[in-house]
């Protein structure tokens, strides 16, 4: 080697090393610090009832609430990036277009090779469901052979089906890259498929809309849900910070409240009453919706909440009257009407304004330590039973060592006000404490129905990937070209 070339070669080696280090800087940079430096947490997600959606122009959904809390914990802004299809989530992560995924992802063996997962925040079951109205039944995997089954492509459900196929080679199904849970449910309604696989949280979140749907059986063991990131060392600090965040959520009880708020389904809620509500939502609500929306704006309320309260009170009948003398759309007593300045309880606008004003008044009189959404449930309970009896139940709750500011704790003590053993120790005495529990439960149920109906009514389905719906023989012909 010539001396000059030898010197150049020796000089170039450290330069090359430095260049290689800097060229891979994006792969080794602490992603947590990067998020803080940028001031934004970019989260890839799915657009569905259990993950992320827009409600009256505002972001909502279980995964959104969790992600917003994490962004606040980090002291940064939150950017939600909704995509269609699970594969898009993985691609966006791998291309660096998002910091993490919060999309109701189950932890599976196949995904572990590709992704790093944060702490588990809820466990779910994977359910085979069918439409009872179409006469389909199944008790075991064998019963699914020869049936039309469709699931989302790249999903844990497809992975589970592949596992089941090992012991049941005749089992077949279709996978679609352009569908979300709601699309599969609609296909089940329309008879386009016989069965689908769905996570239990999705099932209970949507169940009220599909009274004919039944669980055939649960497949496999419960599986955990977690946030996901690209599997690389740079994401380890972000994952550890997730552990800190979720530990705080659990210890504070906030995680339990979020789960209760989004996924609790009352088995006591009659499918007949749900069907009746949906019918009246189509027939009666359009006649009064304009008034409800106007009053809701006047009193800074969600119109769906006011609609749910007025349905619970009167089924949206302006001249409703009960044997106890309460009357009108919001079923006001004469004393309450006088207090609120309502001259004619049968005038729907006066009744709605009176009821909204009364609800806001109760909301303002609750102790400051009660936070939303519990504060709203407490105000509804007080609307039904009065602030005095509600306070008695809170006292009983505190005596039992539970939190008097949480609805999930107080609702278990309200029914005790029927029993002399308990009500004789309270200030206001006997009360039918089980009634406000059902009252709040019903209104929450109706509110959810109104919310999902609005989302589904104006939802624009994603464009179809035609190849996913063609017969296998045709697809094989295309792929052979």
Give the residue numbers annotated as catalytic, written as ranges.
313
Q: Dihedral of CA 48/52/57/58: which sign?
A: positive
Smallest CA-to-CA distance from 197 within 221, 181, 210, 179 is with: 181
Q: How many CA atoms lie within 13 A of 349 on its CB side?
A: 5
Count Cβ neighbours within 10 Å for each residue of 233-267 and write b for 16 or more, e otherwise: ebbeebbebbeebbeebeeeeebebbebbbbebee
Question: 331-339: long-range contacts (C-beta < 8 A, 24 or more apart)?
Answer: 332/358
Q: What is the DSSP string of 61-116?
A: SHHHHHHHHHHHHHT-EEEEEEESSHHHHHHHHHTTS-SEE-S-PBP-HHHHTTEE
Radius of gyration of the chain (CA): 27
- Asked whether the bond before 441 is cis by omega within 30 degrees of 0, the reply is no
Is the CB of residue 168 less than 8 Å from the CB of residue 147? no
Rounded-to-integer distance, Cα 125 and Cα 223, Å: 6
From residue 232, alpha-carbon distances to 116, 225, 236, 238 in Å are: 8, 20, 7, 11
Is the CB of residue 253 less than 8 Å from the CB of residue 403? yes
Is the CB of residue 64 less than 8 Å from the CB of residue 27? no
Is the CB of residue 44 less than 8 Å from the CB of residue 98? yes
Instruction: Report the 10 Å Cβ neighbour count for 139.
Output: 10
Smallest CA-to-CA distance from 301 within 239, 247, 253, 363 is with: 363
User: Per the structure block, which two tokens stand in for 266?
Assistant: 């009352």
Smallest CA-to-CA distance from 157 within 116, 189, 192, 199 is with: 199
Q: How far apart are the first and last CA of the chain?
A: 54
What is the 8-class DSSP label of residue 321? B
User: Per the structure block, which two tokens stand in for 471?
Assistant: 């017969």
């Amino acid at each position: 080697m010539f001396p000059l070339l030898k010197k150049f070669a020796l000089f170039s080696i450290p330069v090359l090393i430095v260049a290689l280090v800097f060229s891979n800087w994006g792969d080794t940079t602490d992603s947590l610090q990067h998020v803080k430096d940028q001031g934004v947490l970019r989260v890839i997600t799915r657009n569905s009832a259990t993950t992320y959606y827009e409600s009256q122009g505002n972001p909502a959904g279980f995964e959104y609430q969790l992600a917003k809390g994490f962004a606040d914990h980090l002291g940064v802004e939150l950017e939600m990036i909704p995509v269609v299809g699970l594969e898009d989530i993985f691609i966006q992560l791998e291309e660096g277009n998002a910091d993490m995924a919060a999309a109701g992802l189950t932890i599976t063996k196949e995904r572990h090779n590709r992704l790093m997962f944060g702490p588990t925040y809820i466990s779910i079951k994977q359910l085979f469901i069918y439409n009872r109205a179409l006469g389909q039944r199944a008790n075991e995997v064998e019963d699914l052979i020869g049936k039309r089954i469709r699931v989302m492509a790249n999903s844990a459900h497809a992975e589970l089906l592949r596992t089941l196929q090992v012991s049941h080679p005749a089992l077949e199904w279709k996978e679609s890259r352009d569908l979300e849970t709601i699309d599969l449910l609609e296909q089940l309604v329309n008879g386009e498929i016989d069965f689908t696989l769905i996570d239990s949280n999705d099932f209970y979140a949507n169940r009220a809309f599909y009274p004919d749907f039944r669980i055939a059986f649960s497949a496999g063991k419960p599986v955990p849900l977690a946030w996901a990131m690209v599997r690389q060392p740079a994401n380890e600090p972000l994952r550890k910070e997730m552990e800190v965040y979720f530990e705080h959520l659990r210890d504070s009880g906030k995680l339990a409240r979020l789960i209760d708020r989004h996924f609790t389904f009352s088995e006591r809620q009659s499918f007949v009453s749900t069907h009746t509500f949906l019918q009246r939502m189509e027939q009666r609500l359009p006649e009064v919706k304009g008034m409800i929306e106007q009053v809701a704006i006047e009193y800074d309320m969600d119109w769906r909440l006011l609609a749910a309260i007025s349905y619970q009170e009167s089924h949206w009948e302006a001249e409703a009257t009960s044997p106890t003398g309460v009357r009108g759309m919001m079923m006001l007593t004469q004393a309450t009407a006088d207090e609120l300045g309502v001259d004619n309880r049968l005038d729907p606008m006066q009744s709605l304004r009176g009821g909204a004003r009364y609800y806001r008044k109760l909301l303002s009189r609750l102790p400051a330590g009660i936070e939303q959404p519990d504060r709203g449930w407490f105000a509804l309970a007080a609307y039904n039973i009065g602030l005095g009896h509600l306070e008695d139940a809170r006292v009983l709750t505190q005596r039992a060592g539970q939190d008097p500011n949480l609805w999930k704790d107080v609702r278990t003590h309200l029914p005790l006000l029927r029993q002399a053993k308990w009500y004789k120790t309270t200030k206001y005495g006997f009360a039918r404490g089980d009634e406000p529990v059902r009252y709040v439960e019903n209104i929450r149920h109706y509110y959810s129905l109104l919310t999902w109906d609005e989302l589904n009514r104006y939802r624009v389905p994603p464009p179809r990937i035609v190849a996913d719906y063609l017969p296998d023989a045709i697809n094989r012909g295309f792929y052979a070209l």
